[in-house]
Structure formats: structure tokens, C-alpha cells
Amino acid sequence: MTDTLERPSGEGPSEEHLTMGIDPWEKNWMKLSAGLLVVFAVLITIAGFAAGFQLPGAESEVDPRTVANEGPWAEPGLRDLGDGKFEAYVISQLWSFSPRELVVPIDAEVDLYVTSIDLQHGFKITDTNVNMQIVPGQVSVLTYTFDEVGEFPYICHEYCGEGHAAMFGVVNVVSESEFAEEVGA
Ligand code: CUA
């Protein structure tokens, strides 16, 4: 037979079309889409509340013209707050970070305060979830606990001109004893 694609004579549109029935495949896609929304909502909730993911926020405002000369960024680097807590002040500028190296002891919980004195930069620490945009006049903050010994380079990931690729530094996570030596030295 060659006429299998033709509607048999005498029959109108199928029942399904008249009742605006939904194609089973389309129905499945709708279910899948709705299911994915639920999955994403659950994952975001877990990330935010159980896994401690944070959105980098604009903590406060500073004057980019003076921030390198007065206040905590005048001496960028790490501060020991006691109880395994630290603060790090980092300045971004064309085309470097100050400091270029942060030495922290293992399991240090570090509040990272980063700002820029010229234009927009990025601050991403490799192999961590620290990833911020750095806007002049604003302070970007994230807290991270370094629970692994090793070197974690931080890079500018916001294109900022010809020296962009050379704009990086490193977090050096060391053992307690090495850190004691470093601080004592
Ligand atoms: Cu700073 Cu790219």
C-alpha cells in the first residue's frame, strides 16, 4: 500500500485534536522541565544553607583615590584575629595584586576584603569557590576556610588591558609549624 499517510476517507480530525489534547512527548518535556525547576530550587537551597555558598556582596564603600594610603589597605596582607580566624586585605590595580602572596596556616578561616584603586578587576582563587568582581570604590568580601596545604593562585579574570594576563598572586597554605616559622621570621 502507498497511501498510508492519507487520512482514511470519511474521518475528521482525531478526537485528540478536537479536545486540544497534548502530545505525549510534549507532556513528558513539560514534566521534565517542571522537575528540573524543582531540582534546581533544591540544589540552590542546599548550596546556600548546607554547603555555605555565598554571593560576594558589596560590603562597604571606600575612596579609591585614598584607600591605598589610609585604613587597612595601606598595609595590605593578612591579620591574625585569633581562634584560627584571619582577615586579608588585598588591593587590585593595573596590573598586580598587593600582596602578591598570602601565607595562611592550614584550616585558617579567612575573610577576604578586596578592592580596586583604578578600574574593574576580578579576583578568583583557583580550586576554591572564591570568585569576585572587584569594583573601584567598593569592597568585595568572601570568607573561605583553607583546609588543604598547597598553592592556590589568585588571578584577575576581568579583562583589564594589556597586562591582564600577568595579574595574579598566590595563597600559600602551609602547616601550623611552617606558619609559626613564617610569622616568627
Ligand atoms: Cu585586572 Cu584583568
Atom of ligand 1 nearest to the CA of 120: 1
Q: Sorting pLDDT into bands at 50, 70 and 90, what band is 21?
A: confident
pLDDT at 172 over 80: yes
Instruction: Give CATH for domain 57-184.
Output: 2.60.40.420
- For ligand 1, residues with CB inside 6 Å are 95, 121, 156, 158-160, 164, 167
pTM, whole model, 2 decimals? 0.72
CB 151 within 8 A of CB 170: yes
Cα R_g (the chain), whole angstroms: 27
Q: Sorting pLDDT into bands at 50, 70 and 90, what band is 86?
A: very high
Surface-to-core class of residue 50, CB atoms within 10 Å of its CB (0-12 exposed, 13-18 middle, 19+ buried): exposed
Q: Sorting pLDDT into bands at 50, 70 and 90, what band is 4?
A: low
**pLDDT of 1:** 46
**pLDDT of 58:** 63
Atom of ligand 1 nearest to the CA of 158: 2
Name the 3-class secondary structure at 68: coil
CA of 42 to the centre of ligand 1 (A): 35
pLDDT at 168 over 50: yes
46 φ, ψ (degrees, to nearest 5): -60, -45
Higher-scoring residue by pLDDT: 79, 47:
79
CA of 71 to the centre of ligand 1 (A): 23
CA of 103 to the centre of ligand 1 (A): 22
**pLDDT of 68:** 86
Q: Sorting pLDDT into bands at 50, 70 and 90, what band is 106?
A: very high
CA of 15 to the centre of ligand 1 (A): 63
CA of 73 to the centre of ligand 1 (A): 19
Closest Cα to atom 1 of ligand 1 = 121
Atom of ligand 1 nearest to the CA of 95: 1
Atom of ligand 1 nearest to the CA of 165: 2
CA of 163 to the centre of ligand 1 (A): 7
Higher-scoring residue by pLDDT: 77, 14:
77
Q: Over the stretch 43-72, which tens digit does the pLDDT of each residue have?
A: 988 887 877 676 666 668 888 888 888 888
d(CA 183, CA 175): 12
Q: Over the stretch 117-167, which tens digit does the pLDDT of each residue have?
A: 999 999 999 999 899 999 998 999 999 999 999 999 999 999 999 999 999
